[in-house]
Chain A
C-alpha cells in the first residue's frame, strides 16, 4: 500500500474554477471524492454548482486551482475524451442518448473505444435493465423518459468504467421511475463500481448515499454520510424543507 492508494479512488481536491478562460469562478475550494462500493451524492440548492462540480471532475471546465486524481493518477490536465479512456463513465443530464439509433446501437457506440469483444458487457447491461433487451431494436428516441435514462446509463457502462458519474439521472421522470432507477444504481454500486451523482431530489438521493456533499455557492457546506446529513437539523432546515 503506497501513499497514493490511501486517498479516495476518485477525488477532485480543492477545485476552484469556472467556464471558459476568463469566466467567473463558480467553484470555490470544492472537494468531492468517491470510493469503490460507494454512492456519493452531490446535493444543494439551485445554482450551487452541483453539475459544475461534476463537470470539473470530468474535465469540462478549466480549473484554476486544485487537482483531480483517479486511482492515484493526476488527470487534471486530461480532456474529457482522454478521461473516458482512463476509465471515467459520464452520463450527461440531457442529450445523453443517440435518439435516432437503436438501443443496441447506442450500447455499441458506448463501447466504441473498446476493440475487444464486448458482448459480455452488453449482456450484463441487459441483465441490469431487462426492458432494454426487449426494446433493443427500437430507436432510443422512441422510449419513455425512464427507459432513455437506462439507455444512457447502459451506454456509459459499456466502456467498463472504473467510476460512474451521473448528472441528475432522475430529472424529469416520475417518482415511481425514480425509485426504480435508484434501485438500479444501488445494484451497480454493489458490484464495486464507485458511483457519483448529482441530484435534485435531495431527500431520496441522500437516503441511498454512502457519502453526501451539500454544496452552497460552489463550496462544500456540509459533508457526511447520507444518514448524517438527513439527520442534521441545519441541512434539513435549509435544503430538505424541515
Chain B
C-alpha cells in the first residue's frame, strides 16, 4: 500500500507535470532548432514569438467566449489556436521581410543574426505588453480536471490523490500530433526533404534547383505554428504572462542544445530531460520517501534539493554538463 501511495504521489507531483512541461518545452525547442538548422542562427525572439501567438489566441478566446462559442469540456482556446497561428505566421513573415532578409542578402555572420534577433525580441516583447498588458492572464475554460484528486482517492481508497488536468492531457495529445506531423512533413514530403537538403548543404541545394526563399518561408510558417502551439499549451497549463514567456527562452534553449542544436529528435529528448530534472530537483520528496523508507530513516526536512526560485539553474547545470562531455548534444547536432 505504501509503495502504491508513493507511486501515485510521484505521478501526481512529478511525472504528470514533468511530462506536460516537457512536451511544451519540446515543441518550443523544435522551433528553435528548426531556425538554427535552416536560417543558421539562434533565435532569441522565440520566447516572445510564443508570447505573441498566445496573446492573439487569448484575444480570440475572449471574443469567442463573449459570443457564447465554447468547445464544451475542452478549452475554447483550441478553437482560437488556428487564428493565433495565422497571426503569428504573418508576424514572423513580416519580420523576415523587414529585418532578417536584409541581413541574409548581406550574408551576415550568424552572430549578427543573433544580435538582430535580440532586437526583434525587444520589439515583440513591447508589442505584446502594449496590447495585452504585462499582467497575468488566465484563459483556460471548460472542464478543469479529467481525473480529480478527490475522485481518485474515493475510487482507489489510497491516501494519495492523483489529478490529471485537462490542460495536461491536451498538451500531451497535441504534442504527439504536432511532432508526428512535423516528422512526416520533414521525411516524407518533397518540400520537407528540400528543407533538410538546404540545412545539410546549402550550395548543393541551390545547384539542385531548391529555392532558398521558399525554404525560408515554409520554415517560418512552421516555426510560427510550433511557437504558438507551445505558448498556448503552456498558458493553458499554467497562465499567460509576457515576462514568463521571455524567461521560457532559457529552458527552451537548454533543451535544444542538450538534445543537439539542429536535431529535431534531440529537441524533443532535450525538452523532457530539462523538464524532468527541473521538476524533480525542485519538488520536496519528503512525502514520497516517507512512504518508501522505514520510519527510522524518514527524513526530517522537505528533501527539496533546490528552491523553485532556482529552477532555471537546473537547465544551466545540465547544459554545462552536456557541453563539457558531449559538446554536440545527445543526438549529435551541430556544435555551438
Contacts and interface: CB of A to CB of B under 8 A. Distances in A.
B332 to A, nearest CB: 10
A98 B196 contact: yes
Interface string A103-138: 001001110110000000000000000000000000
A113 B210 CA distance: 8
B293 interface: no
B207 A113 contact: no
B106 interface: no
A103 B287 CA distance: 54
B163 to A, nearest CB: 43
Nearest to A98: B200
Given A81-B209, A112-B209, A112-B210, A97 B193 contact: no
B281 interface: no
Query: Residue among B190, B193, B196, B210 with the most chain A CB within 10 A?
Result: B193
Contacts, number: 55
B200 A100 contact: yes
A85 interface: yes
Contacts of A109: 193-194, 197, 205, 208, 210
A84 interface: yes
A99 B203 CA distance: 13
Interface residues of B, number: 15
B193 A105 contact: yes
A213 interface: no
A101 B193 CA distance: 9
A99 B208 contact: no
A113 B194 CA distance: 11
A112 B192 CA distance: 12
B200 A113 contact: no
A84 B201 contact: no
B71 interface: no
B194 A112 contact: yes
Interface of B: 190, 193-194, 196-197, 200-201, 203-210
24 contacts: A80-B206, A80-B207, A81-B206, A84-B207, A84-B208, A92-B204, A92-B207, A95-B204, A96-B204, A97-B201, A98-B197, A98-B204, A98-B205, A99-B200, A100-B196, A101-B193, A101-B200, A109-B193, A109-B194, A109-B197, A110-B208, A112-B190, A112-B197, A159-B209
